[in-house]
Structure 1
Amino acid sequence: MNYSDTIVALATASGAGAVAIIRISGSDATTIADGVFRSVTKNKSLLKQNSHTLHLGHIVDEKRIIDEVLVSIFKNPKSYTGEDVVEIQCHGSIYIQQEIIQLLLRKGCRMADAGEFTLRAFLNGKLDLSQAEAVADLISSDNEASHQIAMQQMRGGFSSEIAKLREELLNFASLIELELDFAEEDVEFADRTQFRDLIERITFVLKRLIDSFAVGNVIKNGIPVAIVGEPNVGKSTLLNALLNEERAIVSDIAGTTRDTIEDELIIEGIGFRFIDTAGIRDTKDVVEGIGIKKTFEKIEQAQVVLYLFDAVQFVDNPEAFIVEIEKIKNKYPLKPLLIVPNKIDKISDEGVSNLKSVLDTIKNSKYILLSAKQSIGVDDLKNQLLSFVNTGALRNNETIVTNTRHYDALLKAFENIKKVQYGLVSNLSSDLMAIDIREALYHFGLITGQVSNDELLGNIFANFCIGK
């Protein structure tokens, strides 16, 4: 692929709008734009204008005026891509957008590939690879937490931490490699005590970053919460209460919900994806049976299981519900289980007290008393769900890993660092440790882009939108 030519693309969302921005980048960007721009100021040439300036005029095709526009000029290297960049702000008509883009293509531009502007920014040293990937995460962020993480990564918080570790390890790697050149003299250039301290520090940081992925991944993609229970206990009513809208059909007829219904709610900046499932019971209804099968599939996919039951029925026969709760706990031991007795407005104060006494005996579980219909306990439920997410790292502005590619590279780097650590303890020869150090450096480099190839870059930037 030729990355020295001049590219063009629509930088704003496709479709009609009030305004649209068409972005041009490359060595001929200003020349091509100047050829189709006529300023309201007589004889003004874009080629003679300073960087970071705005100019009012018209885009013309020969004598035909296409639109009145504002043109922004950004001269290299002080631009997003590190090249000359021109942005044309025109009216948002789809016809106008296409006419301007087609004109620029005829004048020598090439249509940009997905993510090519950001790719050029990476290739020209304006961003490292992890920062470039954060651009896509920022565009797709749909809640406060994912936005905060993407902004931190785009500012270089994650990559600077990795780059610093890589640089220190590289310095010691050079000394280890030097020892190999003087193997016959049996000398040590790398201080083993300092090297051991560095490896321990790298191990600590890598483990923290790897552990953060569990939080980062669910924050980025939303936390799936399965609402499960027997038919007609208020699962759909609870979903509607959480979302504050009539999202699910509510009926006194058991088995009304025959398929899973999903919707998302942002609670204090964290996205939760609630899944209203079909009621679990023995049934001969084929369609309802398929829905119940899907319920168990959704429980497998969920991060949190919310077990809802009728508080009135519980008071009458608590033993049966305890058995069901224990079944779910045993079947999904690694998933947080939140026990939610519903319809507490229909039982007496004494019944509520007895209910609490029984639920307090269930170990390793939490419960919230609820009346979905009366919206009693809904806020307590939201707070409890938030407690399942470790947002302390967000509050402390710590680095959180959200990218699967970064997570995989960190795991492999950690494995190699542990081998180096073992080599130091076991007094292995420098040549054996050097192999593991090189591998760790390689995986560090993959994260920031100091090690890259066309296939890797193609996979990353193919997921970007065209104008970015």
Structure 2
Amino acid sequence: MIPQETIVALATPSGAGAIAIIRLSGSNAVTIAASVFQSISGKDLSKQKTHTIHLGHIVDQNKTYDQVLVSLFKGPNSYTGENVVEISCHGSTFIQQQIIQLLLRKGAKMAQAGEFTLRAFLNGKLDLSQAEAVADLIASDNEASHQIAMQQMRGGFSNEIAKLREELLNFASLIELELDFAEEDVEFADRTAFYELLNRIEFVLKRLIDSFAVGNVIKNGIPVAIVGEPNVGKSTLLNALLNEERAIVSDIAGTTRDTIEDELVINGIGFRFIDTAGIRETKDVVESIGIQKTFEKIEQAQVVLYLVDSLQLTVDSLKSLKVETEKIKNKFPLKPIVVVANKADLLTEKEITNLQEQLTTYNLQLITISAKQKTGIDILKETLLSFVNTGALRNNETIVTNTRHYDSLLKALEEVQKVKWGLDSGISSDLIALDIREALHYFGEITGEVTNDELLGNIFANFCIGK
């Protein structure tokens, strides 16, 4: 049921600023705004055309609150599909609060988190996946996540799902029609064409499901653990990557006793670097806890940078390095490990070549850097980018980033495969129809054709108030 109350909220971030925007939406939005707005030119706000802007003052009982610009967007040609009024006032928190309280006294109701976008969904201005993309767009903090959110908000993902659902629905109608004429033993649905459609749907679903691995890391950032023995330059490397003094650096082994995290965007992709405590045998209780956390962070990371001091590498230390990296590989066989040899500026070219040859025999990828001199950092960044499959992003393919969508796609794929199995096994049309209905249900969950109040509540509770 579409709410009837007129809602109000601050649409810009809370706090003082140059300008703040207060948004009203609902059938009485224009009437409420007109009751407190006094135009400079004497216009009656309630009689003005949609998509117009008006200069005036917010007043009440001869008290002037502020000089403002009022923008009118009359339904259905507005973001929410309802009458929308946006009041651009000065950014004083006092002014914001005074105007909002005045609008509440005039009959508006405070908007809940995401209620403007919820109304846009309920009024058919956005489907559910597009509405969720609004939140992703607001939260995007790098070029890649912004690009994906924009694509989904424009309906790229929705259109692909809707097309598949429509084609499947057409065949489902024919199957259901056969059930009405079961006694006459007729087939309205071409089984060969139906099987081809199922193969195509299965292919698309698998591609979308596979894209989640890329989409998830782009949306949330790629965690990279910087590990190694104490005092090899892990904190210096973190500072060099971030180009700021983020971590404490000293010559004392065990300085870093807890994990330090910070983010860096490389060519539009977010990376979350984790500087960990040095791995060594110690009796220090606090340092031991830090080392335990290091192994926890290795488990959480998608890429491991194993930092070594190139000046201290001997035959024995290389063997020890091989043992330590194999421990990680045995536990996480798909996790990339890059050995980063620090202080390489103090080595000769021959020494670097020998080191590369030795580590190649251990099947380890090596990058030589000087964290202090900041040499080799660009090569390291390029290597990190190579672990991200950005092909789909470059080709503007649909990429799934939402866990809810991913779960529905998995369930839809399972039902489609059941339908295929049913056709191969020659089971009755009524049983096939049940599986088709389930597949259509999961398709509908993504775009919002199938929904409930609990689902909508969970989705829009994560929005900011005013959007």
Report the TM-score range of the alignment, normalised by the length of the smaller protein.
over 0.9
Aligned: 1:163 with 2:189: no
> Is 1:315–1:355's contact at 8 Å kept on the other side of the alignment?
no
- CA positional deviation for 1:323: 2.4
In structure 1, the residue matched to 2:192 is 193
In structure 1, the residue matched to 2:64 is 65
In structure 1, the residue matched to 2:125 is 126
Aligned: 1:333 with 2:333: yes
Instruction: Measure the CA separation in 2 of the matches of 1:215 and 1:26.
Output: 39
The equivalences for 1:238-249 within 5 A come to 238-249=237-248
* Residue aligned with 1:360, SS: helix
> Is 1:175–1:189's contact at 8 Å kept on the other side of the alignment?
yes
Aligned: 1:16 with 2:16: yes
Which residue identity lines up with residue 347 of structure 2 in the other structure? I
> Is 2:227–2:279's contact at 8 Å kept on the other side of the alignment?
yes
In structure 1, the residue matched to 2:152 is 153
> Is 2:69–2:88's contact at 8 Å kept on the other side of the alignment?
yes
The equivalences for 1:61-460 within 5 A come to 61-317=60-316, 318-363=318-363, 365-460=364-459
- CA positional deviation for 1:421: 1.0
* Residue aligned with 2:313, SS: helix
- CA positional deviation for 1:293: 0.5
In structure 2, the residue matched to 1:465 is 464
> Is 2:277–2:294's contact at 8 Å kept on the other side of the alignment?
yes
Instruction: Measure the CA separation in 2 of the matches of 1:219 and 1:362.
Output: 31
> Is 1:314–1:321's contact at 8 Å kept on the other side of the alignment?
no
* Residue aligned with 1:87, SS: strand
> Is 2:74–2:82's contact at 8 Å kept on the other side of the alignment?
yes
Aligned: 1:41 with 2:41: yes
In structure 2, the residue matched to 1:28 is 28
The more displaced of 327-336 and 25-34 is 327-336
Which residue identity lines up with residue 16 of structure 1 in the other structure? A
> Is 2:2–2:123's contact at 8 Å kept on the other side of the alignment?
no
The more displaced of 347-356 and 386-395 is 347-356
> Is 2:227–2:277's contact at 8 Å kept on the other side of the alignment?
yes
- For residues 53-78 of structure 1, the C-alpha deviation after alignment (integer angstroms, 9 at most, x for no partner) is 00000000111010000000001110
Instruction: Measure the CA separation in 2 of the matches of 1:130 and 1:277.
Output: 38
- CA positional deviation for 1:328: 2.3
The more displaced of 337-346 and 94-103 is 337-346
- CA positional deviation for 1:324: 2.4
> Is 2:56–2:69's contact at 8 Å kept on the other side of the alignment?
yes
- For residues 84-135 of structure 1, the C-alpha deviation after alignment (integer angstroms, 9 at most, x for no partner) is 1010000001111111101111111011111000000000000000000000
Instruction: Measure the CA separation in 2 of the matches of 1:303 and 1:320.
Output: 23
Instruction: Among all aligned residue pairs of Structure 1 and Structure 2, give the percentage whose two residues are the same amino acid.
Output: 76
Structure 2 unaligned blocks of 5 or more: none
Instruction: Measure the CA separation in 1 of the matches of 2:320 and 2:296.
Output: 24
- CA positional deviation for 1:2: 6.6
Which residue identity lines up with residue 334 of structure 1 in the other structure? L
- CA positional deviation for 1:316: 5.0
Which residue identity lines up with residue 240 of structure 1 in the other structure? N
> Is 1:133–1:460's contact at 8 Å kept on the other side of the alignment?
yes
* Residue aligned with 2:368, SS: coil
> Is 1:255–1:288's contact at 8 Å kept on the other side of the alignment?
yes
* Residue aligned with 2:77, SS: coil
Which residue identity lines up with residue 104 of structure 2 in the other structure? L
- For residues 160-201 of structure 1, the C-alpha deviation after alignment (integer angstroms, 9 at most, x for no partner) is 000000000000000011111111211110000110010000
Instruction: Measure the CA separation in 2 of the matches of 1:313 and 1:329.
Output: 23
- Report how many aligned residue pairs link the two structures: 466
* Residue aligned with 1:368, SS: strand
> Is 2:2–2:122's contact at 8 Å kept on the other side of the alignment?
no
Instruction: Measure the CA separation in 2 of the matches of 1:337 and 1:435.
Output: 47
Which residue identity lines up with residue 86 of structure 2 in the other structure? E
In structure 1, the residue matched to 2:6 is 6
Which residue identity lines up with residue 385 of structure 1 in the other structure? L
The more displaced of 327-336 and 218-227 is 327-336
Instruction: Measure the CA separation in 1 of the matches of 2:442 and 2:218.
Output: 25
Which residue identity lines up with residue 275 of structure 2 in the other structure? D
The more displaced of 319-328 and 226-235 is 319-328
Instruction: Measure the CA separation in 2 of the matches of 1:415 and 1:100.
Output: 53
Instruction: Measure the CA separation in 2 of the matches of 1:190 and 1:361.
Output: 60
- For residues 282-323 of structure 1, the C-alpha deviation after alignment (integer angstroms, 9 at most, x for no partner) is 100000000000001111111111111111222453323222
> Is 2:325–2:337's contact at 8 Å kept on the other side of the alignment?
no
Instruction: Measure the CA separation in 2 of the matches of 1:53 and 1:440.
Output: 45
> Is 2:68–2:87's contact at 8 Å kept on the other side of the alignment?
yes
> Is 1:315–1:351's contact at 8 Å kept on the other side of the alignment?
no
**RMSD, aligned α-carbons:** 1.1
Instruction: Measure the CA separation in 1 of the matches of 2:193 and 2:366.
Output: 51
